[in-house]
Amino acid sequence: MEQPVIALVGRPNVGKSTLFNRLTRTRDALVADFPGLTRDRQYGVGRLGPAPYVVVDTGGLGEPDDVTYHHMQRQALRALDEADVILFLVDARVGVTPGDEALTRDLRRRGKRVWLVMNKIDGVDADVAGAEFHSLGMDSPWPIAAVQGRGVTQLMGAVLEDCLGAAWAAPASLDTADADSDADAEAPDEPDAPIDVAIIGRPNVGKSTLVNRLIGEERVLVYDMPGTTRDSIRVPFERDGRAFTLIDTAGVRRRSRVSDGVEKFSVIKTLQAIEAAQVVIMVLDAQQEISEQDAHLIGHAINAGRGLVLAVNKWDGLIAENRERIRRELDVKLGFLDFTRPRFISALHGTGVGRLLEEVAHVHAAARRELPTPALNRVLEDAISAHQPPLVRGRRIKLRYAHQGGRNPPTIVVHGNQTRDLPDAYRRFLINRFRKAFQLHGTPIRLELRTGENPYAGRRNKLTPRQQKKRDRVVRRNRR
């Protein structure tokens, strides 16, 4: 049987995202004492209760107090259309509001199973607070405190038993330490596993538009206003038989311009999305100059070892002069990105977007490629023959052999002597040779240099006093 879909709806700031995090046992939804924080649909796998299910977090409804309200409403209504069960959250401390009444009328017209959930009962009399909500004409409200978790497990047991039948309501709950360990265990590196792709960039460069274009529907909210996306939204889908998970992130501005607490948490979620992804699509705005913030974001992705796809958006309609300008800026300001090539796209019109996922798949495959040790050593020998390592204190640096030290990103370990003195220019030379030989396009390469133990280290301490005096005389004579 398919897992039921449970949608969380309610006015702004009634605790939907807090309950979402409690049910999924994650921190995927951004939570703050700030009305209208959630704007997009957020999906998660329910882990609290007697059976598996899908839970959907939505933006606040009923009170249009945000310029993006109508866009948020469309997102929430799509979640209601998909849902099998609706949890209608209300605030026990505030009581019934006109927004609750309006939302109740809309939910009745949909004809779906609706549970009235009274949140924030900590510190109030649940019976007294619940009496007021009987005026909505629904079943008795179910009292919970999502922050502390009071009543949440009992609620989900009743919801799932009602939805799936008593046979599904097994005594063993998923809310156990064993379930946590299973859920948090690292999944095996399967070749058909979904590719996690984080889409990052500055505000208003078209990240959400690109997500909607890639999946072919209005999955995330798009509005012509910087900072529309506040949370990191995960969107799983398939293309040509290959599974992907797109992670739409909030735009990241310069630190000096970030003062709002919610925006600071949004930036943290974006950086966490980069760490969780396998490939990163960096979106640039062709109508703006490439900024220092763009370079910082790209540098963070490279330092995290993530494969990189560079998407220059809003390319349609640019005159030849501006196109040449952006190409020059790419060469000058992002010259360190010699391992990837830019893709010029228009997320709004779809130009060039179809090739992005092909590029993502190629970059992901390159990052996970197995590098045979004999082939690595042949490339190393050819590189040394073409260009010898430099001399250090009159002695030649010797690089003896190489082997693979890891994948995603590819890590190559080179053994030799005096390797810590190898210049950065020669390191880049070796990386470029390995990249070209194994076609490691789009992924950073980590080169680890290791020096073996010196067999003569400490020999001075083993000399006899007579040998030591003789050695010192020779050293003084050579110095003269």
Separation between Cα atoms, residue 401 and residue 15, nearest integer Å: 58
Express as a percent the part of the chain with pLDDT over 90: 24
How confident is the model over 191-205, as pLDDT tens digits? 568 899 999 888 888
How far is it between the farthest Cα atoms of the chain?
A: 104
How many CA atoms lie within 13 Å of 56's alpha carbon, on the beta-carbon side? Answer: 28
Higher pLDDT, 447 or 221: 447
- Position 450, amino acid: R
Which pLDDT tens digit goes with each residue over 176-193?
333 333 333 334 456 568
Whole-prediction pTM:
0.66
pLDDT in tens, 331-382: 888 888 888 889 999 988 888 888 898 999 999 999 999 999 999 999 999 9
Give the domains, in start order, of the chain with CATH numbers. 5-184 (3.40.50.300), 195-367 (3.40.50.300), 373-451 (3.30.300.20)
C-alpha atoms less than 13 angstroms from C-alpha of 323 in its C-beta half-sphere: 11
The pairing of strands 411-417 and 446-451 is: parallel
Residue 185's pLDDT is 37
Give me the pLDDT at residue 32, please. 44
- What mean pLDDT is predicted for residues 110-117? 88
**In the prediction, which pLDDT does 31 show?**
52
Backbone angles phi, psi at 16, to 5 degrees: -65, -45
175, 254 Cβ separation under 8 angstroms: no
Q: Which of 115, 54, 40, 103 is nearest to 83 (CA)?
A: 54
Q: Which residues pair with 194 in a beta bridge?
A: none
What's the pLDDT at 95?
87
Contact assessment for residue 281 and residue 253, using Cβ atoms and an 8 Å cutoff: no
Question: pLDDT, tens digit, for every residue of 263-313?
Answer: 555 677 778 788 888 999 999 999 888 888 888 888 888 988 999 999 999
